[in-house]
Amino acid sequence: MLLEKNDYEHAANKTDMITGHIKELRGVLKYNEPMADHTSWRAGGSADHYFEPADLEDLITYLKSVPADKQLLWVGLGSNLLVRDGGFRGSVIALNRAFNNLEINTSGQIKVDAGVPCAKVARCSAREGYTGAEFLAGIPGTMGGALAMNAGAFGGETWNIVTRVRTLSRSGMTNIRLPADFNIGYRSVQIPGDEWFISAELQLQKDHEKIVGQRIRDLLEKRSATQPTGLPSCGSVFRNPTGDYAARLIDACGLKGKRIGNASISEKHANFIINHGNATASDIERLISFAQQSVQEQFGVELIPEVRIVGESKD
């Protein structure tokens, strides 16, 4: 096990939370880890513990070391996450380093770990001449997050191509589950029990490599033309309400460019909030609430965030 940063002097005082198996860990365990370093918004407070497992066995060992009453937060690239400035009083588990296996067979079946970036799935599928995953090129997260929220872009949705998944329970048990085991909706998935996704199997159809590749290039060009890529954001902040678009409603309220602190609603796409540098999580959360309130007052529509907001506010 490796301890990093400012953590050696604090480790002895933190074992009230991580017990029993700590000496057996082979991954990287950090204490008081700034989550701004692990979220695409580049904002927010610190997590009590941040663990990067070496493999599945190491992850199970870690789960057994965390008391049942302590919160767990699973992350990939942190693209759909806002950690409040007061930090997260629990354990963050990061899967993007160890859970990164991707295999494609000759029948278009993909086996992919939860930590693999969605864009990589799209690229590899195209290179092998399989279609159906092109939309994943527009999702700035990992497959674990895409599974958890049924992420979508450009008309495609994650669970439309999923044939089965593997989950891990807090007690360390793995299960193979089918889509029918979940209540899947627009940007939502109800997961049974205390389980998390660790891998999935996808089914794609054969197509020509150049055609699939061109589709991805076209989608990315459209994304670049309409979205503020290259700037710290979480992607789309709100789900689209039925029959409408969150961006249109926010824009109609005149909120493009609205700024609180160092965060603003994008001038390019009103469903994006940008960190212009040193924005606090509070700046961002206040903008989210302001947009919700404005749309509710003007149109009577409740905007539901896609982004997950966790942790404690800073006093």
Active-site amino acid positions: 187, 236, 306
Distance CA 11, CA 25 (A): 14
Angle at 149 between CA 176 and CA 68, to 5 degrees: 65
Q: CA angle 73-79-80, nearest 5°?
A: 60
**CB 229: neighbour CB atoms within 10 A?**
16
Would the CA dihedral through 9, 10, 16, 18 be positive or negative?
negative
First to last CA, the chain: 34
Q: How far apart are CA 259 and CA 251, in angstroms?
A: 14
User: Which string of b and e fits 182-197 if b means at least 16 CB within 10 Å?
Assistant: bebeebebebeeebbb
Q: How far is CA 194 from CA 71, 87, 151, 173, 190, in A?
A: 11, 23, 21, 10, 11
315, 86 contact by CB (below 8 A): yes
Given CA atoms 19, 57, 179, 213 in this order, what sign does their dihedral have? positive
